[in-house]
């Protein structure tokens, strides 16, 4: 009896934590949006008509930017290298599916004539923002040949 009560408390707490995880308007996404806006670029957000609903869409340039959380999309950095310690039978396949979906979406966008850039959460920290700004400007200013 006590074990199931603890499981229910754990589930409730986990549910509360997961409820706070958002896929739009995240902190890293807001950093990227401020940077490109400051550079003078205008964009659309989360265009549903495009595969993967990219975070930032530059229609005139036919370019898109995805801002990925390092853990959720399994980046090879300190944040992304963490593995869940519980319920691994659920989480590991889910994280693998996220990576597979990312590859498929980028491929579909390329077939449609769109160029994609992935910005990782770890690249948006304050001490790396100058480097990120240079990378974004290079991506957005480069011709699509």
Percent of the chain with pLDDT over 90: 73
Length of the chain: 145
Q: Does 66 map to a domain?
A: yes
Its pTM stands at 0.83
The count of domains in the chain is 1
Which CATH number goes with the domain that contains 95?
A: 3.40.960.10
Q: Is residue 67 over pLDDT 60? A: yes
DSSP 83-112: --SS-HHHHHHHHHHHHHHHHHHHHHHHHT
Q: Does 4 map to a domain?
A: no
Q: Does 122 map to a domain?
A: yes
Mean local confidence (pLDDT), 83-107: 93
DSSP class of residue 44 equals E
Q: Does 15 map to a domain?
A: no
Q: Does 5 map to a domain?
A: no
What's the domain range around 39? Answer: 23-141
- pLDDT (tens digit, 9 = 90+) per residue, 8-63? 657 666 556 655 555 677 999 999 999 999 999 999 999 999 999 999 999 999 99
Q: Does 121 map to a domain?
A: yes
Q: Does 87 map to a domain?
A: yes
Q: Does 9 map to a domain?
A: no
- pLDDT (tens digit, 9 = 90+) per residue, 68-82? 999 999 999 988 888
């Amino acid at each position: 009896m006590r074990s199931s009560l603890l499981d229910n408390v754990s589930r409730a707490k986990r549910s509360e934590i997961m409820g706070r995880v958002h896929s739009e308007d995240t902190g890293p996404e807001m950093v990227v949006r401020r940077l490109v806006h400051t550079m003078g670029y205008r964009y659309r957000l989360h265009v549903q008509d495009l595969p993967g609903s990219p975070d930032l869409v530059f229609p005139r340039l036919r370019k898109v930017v995805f801002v990925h959380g390092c853990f959720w999309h399994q980046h090879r950095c300190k944040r992304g290298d963490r593995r869940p310690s519980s319920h691994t039978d659920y989480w590991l396949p889910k994280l693998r599916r996220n990576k597979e979906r990312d590859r498929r979406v980028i491929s579909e966008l390329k077939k449609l004539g769109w160029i994609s850039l992935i910005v990782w959460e770890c690249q948006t920290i304050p001490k790396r923002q100058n480097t990120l700004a240079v990378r974004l400007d290079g991506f957005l200013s480069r011709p699509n040949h």
